[in-house]
């Protein structure tokens, strides 16, 4: 495993992290606890030290899972969790009031069986609470030793700048992949200027870029992708052109489409750390294999030229969720 620093922070993490949400939430039934713990430990044994969770994943059960898996390894792992929803439930709305941030921090510490949070993200910007108040509360938690670093998720450049001026951010977490490149317009230049690391979630396009999904795939009734326009049947069929692009490069590199998609992200900036999620050991091993793949300047140009000719069909979020991003 290779390791990277998140921007100018001293937070060093594995070049790939593990997004843990899907073990408990979002993609159908939760993985049973023994299997989930085996996967988390296997990731650690393979060199991954960066694990991403949130109170909203479950809610609460995902943090408890990590607390159980890593209580004996606490000083060897970097755990990121998040605050920002009422009672940890996105459906109830946003809540980044200072008193809620503090309450979430204390509850997360208990569930994670720890006395500090390595990286504490604001899950979404709350327009009703000045970002300076949010950053100030985090600054106090850092001074108290309960939080080591902080970050934001799906925030706009303006909010990032205001927050960073009060308490420097270690990382921004947002969606980014060959399938969703909007961060290149304004976010990546802002992060580079300010020395903030970038943690792309859904680096495999919520599974689509693995090549394992097509227009005939049926998702579990509780799978979040059922309400994502980009995953409507007709859009999936059209978007398979993107998977074909990855398959062609994968053949040349004796790799898989997922590995090429992750290697492409890793090649963009040395301070980018993707966090693909999975519930399967063989997919975990496949993802880790991407770290060893080197894409040359010619490879990257080939991918760029092919990607520029493909139109992506469907929005990445339904409208009610899209309204929460970019603030």
Q: What is the CATH number of the domain that holds 13?
A: 3.20.20.100
Tell me which H or E stretch contains 69.
Answer: helix 61-70
- Is residue 327 a part of any domain in this protein? no
- Is residue 236 a part of any domain in this protein? yes
- Is residue 164 a part of any domain in this protein? yes
Contact 44, 66 (CB under 8 A): no
Active site residue 57: yes
What DSSP character marks residue 281?
Answer: H
Residue range of the domain that includes 211: 3-322
**pLDDT value, residue 267:** 98
Question: Cis bond leading into 59, ω under 30°?
Answer: yes
pLDDT tens digits, one per residue of 191-237: 999 999 999 999 999 999 999 999 999 999 999 999 999 999 999 99
pLDDT tens digits, one per residue of 229-275: 999 999 999 999 999 999 999 999 999 999 999 999 999 999 999 99
CA distances from 102 to 84, 96, 137, 197 (A): 11, 10, 8, 24
Identified catalytic residue from 3, 27, 57, 116: 57
The model scores a pTM over 0.95: yes
If one counts every other C-beta atom within 10 angstroms of the C-beta of residue 220, the result is 11
- Is residue 245 a part of any domain in this protein? yes
- Is residue 49 a part of any domain in this protein? yes
Distance CA 317, CA 308 (A): 22
Question: How many folded domains does the chain comprise?
Answer: 1
Contact 286, 258 (CB under 8 A): yes
HEC per residue, 261-274:
HHHHHHHHCCCECC
One digit per residue, the tens of pLDDT, for the chain of length 327 reads 999 999 999 999 999 999 999 999 999 899 999 999 999 999 999 999 999 999 999 999 999 999 999 999 999 999 999 999 999 999 999 999 999 999 999 999 999 999 999 999 999 999 999 999 999 999 999 999 999 999 999 999 999 999 999 999 999 999 999 999 999 999 999 999 999 999 999 999 999 999 999 999 999 999 999 999 999 999 999 999 999 999 999 999 999 999 999 999 999 999 999 999 999 999 999 999 999 999 999 999 999 999 999 999 999 999 889 989 999
User: What angle, 0 to 180 degrees and rounded to 10, lies between the N-to-C axes of helices 131-143 and 157-166?
Assistant: 40
- Is residue 197 a part of any domain in this protein? yes
């Amino acid at each position: 495993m290779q390791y990277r620093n998140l921007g100018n922070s001293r937070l060093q993490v594995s070049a790939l992290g593990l997004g843990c949400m899907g073990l408990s939430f979002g993609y159908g039934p939760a993985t049973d606890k023994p299997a989930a713990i085996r996967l988390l430990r296997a990731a650690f044994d393979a060199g991954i030290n960066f694990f991403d969770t949130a109170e909203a994943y479950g809610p609460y059960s995902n943090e408890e899972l990590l607390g159980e898996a890593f209580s004996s390894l606490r000083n060897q792992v970097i755990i990121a969790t998040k605050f920002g929803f009422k009672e940890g439930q996105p459906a109830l709305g946003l809540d980044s009031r200072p008193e809620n941030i503090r309450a979430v921090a204390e509850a997360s510490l208990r569930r994670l069986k720890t006395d500090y949070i390595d990286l504490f993200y604001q899950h979404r910007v709350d327009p009703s609470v000045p970002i300076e108040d949010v950053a100030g509360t985090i600054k106090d938690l850092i001074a108290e030793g309960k939080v080591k670093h902080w970050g934001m998720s799906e925030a706009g450049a303006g909010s990032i700048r205001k927050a960073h001026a009060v308490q420097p951010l270690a990382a921004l977490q947002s969606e980014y992949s060959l399938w969703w490149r909007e961060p290149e317009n304004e976010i990546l230049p802002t992060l580079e200027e300010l020395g903030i690391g970038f943690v792309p979630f859904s680096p495999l396009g919520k599974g689509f870029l693995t090549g394992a999904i097509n227009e005939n795939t049926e998702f579990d009734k509780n799978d979040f992708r059922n309400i994502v326009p980009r995953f409507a049947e007709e859009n999936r069929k059209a978007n398979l052109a993107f998977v074909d692009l990855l398959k062609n490069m994968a053949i040349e590199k004796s790799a898989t489409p997922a590995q090429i998609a992750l290697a492409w992200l890793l090649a963009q900036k040395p301070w980018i750390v993707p966090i693909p999620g999975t519930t399967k050991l063989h997919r975990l091993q496949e993802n880790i294999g991407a770290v060893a793949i080197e894409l040359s300047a010619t490879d990257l140009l080939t991918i760029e030229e092919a990607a520029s000719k493909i139109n992506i069909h469907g929005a990445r979020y339904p409208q009610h969720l899209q309204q929460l991003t970019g603030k």
